[in-house]
Amino acid sequence: MKLPRRFFQPLAIGAPAPLRTLPVRLERMIHFVPPHVEKMRSKVPELAKQVDVVLGNLEDAIPIDAKLDARRGFIEMAKATDFGSTGLWIRMNALNSPWALDDLVEIVGAVGDKLDVVMVPKVEGSWDIHYVDQLLAQLEAKAHARKPILIHAILETAEGVKNVEEIAQASPRMHGMSLGPADLAASRGMKTTRVGGGHPDYKVLSDAGSGPRAAAQQDLWHYTVARMVDACMANGIKAFYGPFGDFSDAEACEAQFRNAFLMGCAGAWTLHPTQIAIARRVFSPDPAEVAFARKIIAAMPDGAGAVMIDGKMQDDATWKQAKVLVDLADLVEAKDGAAAS
C-alpha cells in the first residue's frame, strides 16, 4: 500500500494531478449508446440534453466485427457534440481482450479532454485498476491533458465482489462502481438468464399451517448492492445499479432502481430510451421527502440537538439524513431547472 502522500502523485511525468475529491455531478442515468450505429450517433446531441451521462459502449453487445467502428464512431461523436454539463464516458473492452489497449490509446489520444470517465468491465482486483491508472497517466501526459480521466469499475465477477474494498481504494482516479448482474450471475454460477431484477423461484415461504402458504420473492442482488455501497461510500466514491434487461417490464425496472436508490446508489444504467424517465424519477428525491428534510434543516440550523417535527424525533443524525436529500434535491433542481428554462 502506498503512503498517502504518494497516493496523490501523478503516475507519469506531465500527467495532470489526480483529484483529491470527486467532482459533484448528478449521474442518475448512464445512458448506453452503441457508437458504431450511425442512426444512434445522430441522436446524441439531442440525447445529451436529456440524460446526465452519455456512455459510448465498446464492450459486450457490440459485435466483434463492429468493434473498430464503435471506437471510431465514439471519437466522431465526441468531437461533434457539445455535451455541456452532461458526462461523457466509455465502457472500454475487457483488459484481456484484443481491443482494450487501443480503446484507450486511440480515444484518449483523440478526445481525452472531453472524456470524463472510463468504465472498466470485469474488474477482479486492485491490479486491474492499477494497470488502467498507469496507462491513462501515460496517455494523458502524451496528449497534454488538462484534467485526469476517472475510472469506474463494473462489479461483475465473484472475485471482484470478494475484492470490492481494495478495488474501491485502488486509485484516486476511482469514480465509482456499477453492479453488473449478467456477468456476475454467470461468474457465480447463479441459475438465471435474466439481466437484473428478481426471480420467481428465489423466495421465502411462510410456515406450513392450515391454509395456503404465502410466498415472498426476495431480492437476488441485495447482498452485492449492500457490499458495493459500503465499499464505495467508505472511500468517497459512488455506487450504481447497472442494467435492467427486460425492457417490457417498466414496473420491475423501477422497483429494482428504487431499491438501489434507497440503499445508497446514485444512479443506474439506461439501455433503452424508456428507462431514462424511470431513472430520472427514481434517482431524484421525492418532493414530499425533500420538503420534510428542509423542515429538519430549518429547525436545527447548527445540525445539533433534538427537536420534534410532526411528532417525529429529530437529532444530529436525522439532520445528516436530511442533508443527503436536500443536497441531491439542489443538484437536481440546478440541472433539471436549467434544462427546462
Binding site for ligand GLV (CB under 6 A): 60, 154, 156, 180-183, 195, 242-243
76 Cβ contact list (under 8 Å, min separation 6): 35, 41
Of 296, 335, 337, the closest CA to residue 85 belongs to 335
User: Shortest Cβ distance from residue 95 to Mg ion (Å)?
Assistant: 13
Write the burial class of residue 195 (CB in 10 Å: 0-12 exposed, 13-18 middle, 19+ buried): middle
Pick one of Mg ion, ligand GLV, none as the site partner of residue 242 (Cβ within 5 to 8 A by kind). ligand GLV
User: Shortest Cβ distance from residue 223 to ligand GLV (Å)?
Assistant: 16
User: Shortest Cβ distance from residue 265 to Mg ion (Å)?
Assistant: 17
Do the beta carbons of residue 141 and residue 13 sit within 8 Å?
yes
Contact letters for Mg ion, residues 121-160 (x by CB under 5 A): -----------------------------------x----
d(CA 261, CA 48): 23
User: Shortest Cβ distance from residue 251 to ligand GLV (Å)?
Assistant: 20
Q: 271 or 282, CB closer to Mg ion? A: 271
Cell of 30: 448512464
Query: Phi and psi of 204, rounded to 5°?
Result: -120, 135
Pick one of ligand GLV, Mg ion, none as the site partner of residue 148 (Cβ within 5 to 8 A by kind). none
Q: 70 or 293, CB closer to ligand GLV? A: 70
Q: Which residue is nearest to Mg ion (CB)?
A: 183
User: Shortest Cβ distance from residue 163 to ligand GLV (Å)?
Assistant: 17
Q: 116 or 156, CB closer to ligand GLV? A: 156
Residues that bind Mg ion (rule: CB under 5 A) add up to a total of 3
d(CA 9, CA 70): 33
d(CA 176, CA 256): 19
User: Shortest Cβ distance from residue 185 to ligand GLV (Å)?
Assistant: 8
DSSP code string of 172-213: TTEEEEEE-HHHHHHHHT-S---SSS--TTSEEEPPP-SSPP
Q: Residue from 73, 112, 160, 180 that binds Mg ion (CB under 5 A)?
A: 180
Pick one of Mg ion, ligand GLV, none as the site partner of residue 160 (Cβ within 5 to 8 A by kind). none
Considering the rule CB under 5 A, would residue 183 count as an interface residue with Mg ion? yes
Pick one of ligand GLV, Mg ion, none as the site partner of residue 243 (Cβ within 5 to 8 A by kind). ligand GLV
H helices of the chain, in order, are 4-7, 38-42, 44-50, 67-80, 100-111, 126-143, 158-162, 164-168, 181-188, 222-234, 250-263, 274-283, 287-299, 316-340
Q: 52 or 59, CB closer to ligand GLV? A: 59
